Every structure is written in structure tokens, then in C-alpha cells.
Structure 1
């Protein structure tokens, strides 16, 4: 793919920016829970300068649409919209949970990933993803926000070995260790979504024409979607 996509994410404690241009990748990332607004725009400037591009030369602007911190998600989408409006760029929203699944594949080659972000309030943002042959990810469990104890009661063991991603596993380790799933390990080094993975997944959305104008870009919070759901055909 020769598309040029700039991606940014501030939905969690991590702040990251990445630019994919052909087969080149330029990225910045830093865990900075209270400094997203200070760091994100300088990161954008750095990757554009490193790539030798202006914002107007980018094809699309991708962003972590959530789930994640309410404030973090709003910061990310607000800055992304501002950049997109100014440069008249289409936008692509990418699930932060799916981005962590992609990060697990990028780092370790994992193709079955169970993602859990600590949602505070004794809940996790949850989703399971299975990598397809074309590089996209299929949802095995629909994204939701749910107490870990309810997740343990509802999920049944399957034939896959699931690898972990996200801060939820550490925050609720004792409860989530009771899941009946076959887990590949007890911990993960993929704790946060990264813009590099958001940019990668956004390439597929671009090819399929799944972009929106800046004024129609929207976040996903999941607080109004509290029920875990096994997707059809995944029994």
C-alpha cells in the first residue's frame, strides 16, 4: 500500500503518533498520563519532518477512537479533528482494543488476542480478536465494558490459545486468572494501543473507502454498552 496515513492516539496513559508512507514508518510514543496535550502536537511535527512531508501531503488522519479514558479519548479526537479540518483530510477511527491486538501480532506474531483495558470503576474494556489471512482482525467478542467477575462467569473455554494485551490483566489479575480460556501467558508487554498499529489498521479502512469527514468523526466510550456478547458464528 502506498497510502500516507498519519495516526495519533491519546486514549490511554500512552501518547503516540505514527506516519506510514509506503513501506516507511515514522513513530513517536511516550507514556505520559497527564501531558497528552503538551506532547501530541510536537510528536506530529517530528514525524512529519522526519518523513519530509507536510500535513497537506498526507492522505488521511487516523485516530484511536476508544475505548479508553474519557478525557484521553476526547483530547485525541479533538486534536485529530483540528488537524484534519485545517488540512482538509478525511479521518479514520480505529478501535484501541484492535490496535493492541495488532501490537501483539507486530511484536510477537500472536494471532488470537484477548484485550482488556482497565476502565476503572472495577470494570474493563474487553474484546477478543482473531487475525485473518488478509491482515485484518475479526471480533470474537464484541467490544464492551464489563466487571471482570461477570466476564469470568460468561466466557466459555474454546479451542484457541489466547494471548494477553492491555492494562486490565494486571489491574484485575486475581479475578481474570479464573477465566476458563487457555491463556498463552500470565502477563503481556503490550499494555497500551500504539499509533503505529492504528496507522497499519487504517490502511485497510482506506482501501475499503471507510473514511469520514472531520465533522463526523466520533469517539467510542462503551459506558452505555455493558453486556458481554458472543458474536454469531463464534460459538
Structure 2
């Protein structure tokens, strides 16, 4: 099965072609304007592998958490391809994709959300398959470390994603141990890992896929405060502000 995977969740733009055990990736670092660079990168990847979009069996995309604008760019692109070509579409957790590149220990997949808050999930590899120990969510550092401690697991804790350098001492104090480290490698989200996880995941109707932000935008909060209406799964607050 040929899977074209996309991640625009962070400033690291990455696309990949998974075909069996073969994975080919292309990326652009530190570009914020993914809307201009995503399509040319996909075109380049397909051309170098003598393929067209019609040759792709399944499209996969990082569904969140991540940059609000970035997620919408990647998801909209993947939805469009799948819908027009009548192909499978699969959404994969950004945090699961990060964790899938790590093989040992208790894996804390995290993206710094500022002010000691993180988008994070805790995982572990069991017989090569990813197991979710703490659900993906928006956690303060204290809460995240407490959830790790509650697991009571003896393995080393491996953080993958945003650098934890400035929190080293605090994490050690909260964890009560120095048995943790930052994952080796670039700690970036790789579309190839999205493709691996998407292989056996159930496809979704493109019209029903929405980003999984894991946190309300400020605009949504302002809309809720102004209107008093309950939050919806993908509310129309923008039209009413």
C-alpha cells in the first residue's frame, strides 16, 4: 500500500511516501508559511518516485495537536486529495507520531505550549506496537509529571519533542528521580511515522475530519464569553464574534 503522509503541525514541514518497508521523506525546516511550500514539496516527492497522486492508496495527516493554522493547512490538503481521488484518509495523533520514533522506556511525547504547559501524551512500545499510557491532552508540567509518577513504572522516562533543558531541575524535583532524558535525534515530527501508524488505522470520511487542537483558541474563549453559548466540536464562533 502506498501512503502519502503530511505533517504541518509545527514549523517543521514534512511529507513522506510509505510503500511497504520503504520510506522516503522530504522536509523544509523553520518555514511558517506551509501553505506555499506544502504542494510543491508533495509534487517533488511524487516526481522523484515516478508517481502521481492517483497512484496513492491512502492519505495520512497529523491531526493535532499543533499549530492551529498549520494543522488546518495539512488537514485541508489531505481531505481534498482523498475526496477528489476517492481514496482513504487517516488522521494520526501528532504526539503518537513523535512517540513512534522512540523504542525504549516510558515515552513522554510533548510540545511546549508555553508557561509550563505542554501538549503531551505518554506512551510505551510493547512488542513494537505503541501503547498509550496517558491520553493526549493539554497539561501543566506539574500535572504531567504527577501522571507519569502515578504509572509507577521502573523504566527510564524519555522525553521527545520540545527541548526540556530549561525544565531539567524542575522535572527531577517533581519526578523524584534523574532517570529521564531527551530522546536522541532531531526530535521532530516525521511524516514517515505517521504513515506507519496509518497503515492499520481505520479510514475516516474526509468531510468528518477536523483538527484535534486539545485546547480552546483565545477566539473561541472570547466568543463563548460574549455569547454564553456552549462550545461545539467545531463551532461557528468566528462568524459571530
Q: TM-score range by the shorter chain?
A: 0.7 to 0.9
Measured in 1, the distance between the counterparts of 2:71 and 2:167 equals 22
CA contact (8 A) 2:79 2:206 kept: yes
RMSD: 2.1
* Structure whose CA Rg is larger: 2
Unaligned runs of 5+ in 1: 225-235
Does 2:50 match 1:52? yes
Unaligned runs of 5+ in 2: 217-241
How much does 1:172 deviate? 4.1
> In the TM superposition, what are the counterparts of 1:1-235 in structure 2 within 5 Å?
3-105=1-103, 110=104, 112-133=106-127, 135-156=128-149, 157-167=152-162, 169-170=164-165, 172-180=167-175, 183-186=179-182, 188-205=184-201, 210-223=202-215
TM-score where L is the length of structure 1: 0.82
Give the length in aligned residue pairs. Answer: 213
How much does 1:30 deviate? 2.2
Inter-CA distance 131–153: structure 2 relative to 1 (3 Å threshold): closer
Inter-CA distance 111–211: structure 2 relative to 1 (3 Å threshold): farther
C-alpha deviations, 1:107-139, integer Å up to 9, x for none? xxx353111111235410111111121x32110
1:230 corresponds to which residue? none
